[in-house]
Structure 1
Amino acid sequence: MLEIIQNTPIWVFILFVFLVFLGLSQTKDKKSSINKILIFPAIMLLLSYLGVVSAFGFDFQSNISYLLGLAIGVYLSYFFKIPRKSTYDLKEGLFFIKGSFLPFYLIMSIFLLKYYVGVVTAKELEFIHDLSFVVLISLFYGLFSGVFLGRLLVLLKIKKGKDN
């Protein structure tokens, strides 16, 4: 384990600290504009998809698994109305988003998944080419990002309800 940490580039630790602070900022209630709300899911989608592509290339199975995970994540967010207790103030043009640890957990999950895949890839472990590994990792990347995308869609639905 110590060897893994010693061989980890310094920028990974810097990214980790940044993501911890970013995730913790999501635990606080806040008001936010639509432009700010669009950025976060876009970044998470990009990072997770880059994780799939960097690990497996533009592979059919990994892309299908990623999209399936994405769809499941969106569905779960929509079904559970995540983020809960959020509102939109038409006069201010701002969303009120109740703080939650869910985004923190999702951010850390994406980071740790990418770190794990990086380690097993660097160690050239044989199972990284197994279809079950490719499908499972891609599915998780999609699932975590799908929840972020679903949160955005829930907020847009709240806003649309206020616009009418």
Structure 2
Amino acid sequence: MSIATIIQGTPIWVWVLLVILLSRGFKALNSGTATLSRLAIVPVIFAGWGILHLITDPLSGWSSVIVWIVGALVGISGGVFIASRSRFIVDPVSHTVMTPGSVVPLVLIVATFAAKFWLGVEMATATDVAALGTYVLIGAAVSGIVAGVFGGRFLTYCRAMNARRFIKTCSQSA
């Protein structure tokens, strides 16, 4: 199958999603300030994308769900580790987080998109049922890990925000 055929056979929503994700990844290269709700966009997209595949893929079963959950838990641990090592600042008054520029989100976005795209092509063209099952499980693992990494980073920001709010409340009442 040629690359042109693959590209032409790809639904438009996949390209729209790629543009949205790349824009978020490129923005993450520079330090900036964003609200928690804005920082939730990428984790929600990746979690939703993964869960959508688990629900709609006729080859997905409980094993895929379990692999996704385990991957998400591993990813959350990784995301918490990454975020806790970065120098971010939370502002509980404006509910914003100032994050340093990082290539990590862009690399994760590109790697995940490439992996999911490759898996989609393989699943669309595979003739071996055993291979299809393997691709489904690999896709669930990749999806869960990446959703978890972005989710773990977001959870770290939320925890820091809540801690700052608590400290601010305690200092005001003293």
Aligned to 1:65: 67
- 1:123-138 matched pairs, under 5 angstroms: 123-126=125-128, 127-130=130-133, 132-138=134-140
Cα distance, 1:10 vs structure 2: 4.7
Cα shift readout 1:121-160 (whole Å, capped 9, x = no counterpart)? 2213314433x43332211110011001101111011112
Is the 8 Å Cα contact of residues 32 and 99 (structure 2) preserved in structure 1? yes
Helix, strand or coil at the partner of 2:98: strand
Cα distance, 1:99 vs structure 2: 1.7
Aligned to 1:44: 46
Aligned to 2:102: 100
Instruction: Compute the RMSD of aligned alpha carbons.
Output: 2.3
Relative to 1, partners in 2 of residues 1:78 and 1:12: Cα closer, same or farther, differing over 3 Å?
Answer: closer
Q: Name stretches of at least 5 consecutive residues in structure 2 with no aligned partner.
A: 168-174
- Displaced runs of 4+ in structure 1, greater than 6 A? none
In the alignment, the residues of structure 2 paired with residue 153 and residue 118 of structure 1 have an alpha-carbon distance, to the nearest angstrom, of 30
TM-score under structure 1 length normalisation: 0.84
Cα distance, 1:28 vs structure 2: 1.4
Select between 138-147 and 23-32 the one with higher mean Cα deviation: 23-32
Is the 8 Å Cα contact of residues 45 and 145 (structure 1) preserved in structure 2? yes
Relative to 1, partners in 2 of residues 1:103 and 1:82: Cα closer, same or farther, differing over 3 Å?
Answer: farther
Cα shift readout 1:4-58 (whole Å, capped 9, x = no counterpart)? 2343345534443343222111211111112222333112210122234444555
In the alignment, the residues of structure 2 paired with residue 136 and residue 11 of structure 1 have an alpha-carbon distance, to the nearest angstrom, of 22
In the alignment, the residues of structure 1 paired with residue 19 and residue 103 of structure 2 have an alpha-carbon distance, to the nearest angstrom, of 16
Relative to 1, partners in 2 of residues 1:8 and 1:33: Cα closer, same or farther, differing over 3 Å?
Answer: closer
The structure number with the bigger radius of gyration is 2
The letter of the residue matching 2:9 is N
Is the 8 Å Cα contact of residues 43 and 150 (structure 2) preserved in structure 1? yes
Is the 8 Å Cα contact of residues 109 and 144 (structure 1) preserved in structure 2? no
Aligned to 1:16: 18
Identity %: 25
- 1:25-40 matched pairs, under 5 angstroms: 25-40=27-42
In the alignment, the residues of structure 1 paired with residue 113 and residue 85 of structure 2 have an alpha-carbon distance, to the nearest angstrom, of 21
Relative to 1, partners in 2 of residues 1:17 and 1:43: Cα closer, same or farther, differing over 3 Å?
Answer: closer
The letter of the residue matching 2:94 is E
Cα distance, 1:78 vs structure 2: 1.7
Q: Does 1:84 align with 2:76?
A: no
Q: Name stretches of at least 5 consecutive residues in structure 1 with no aligned partner.
A: none
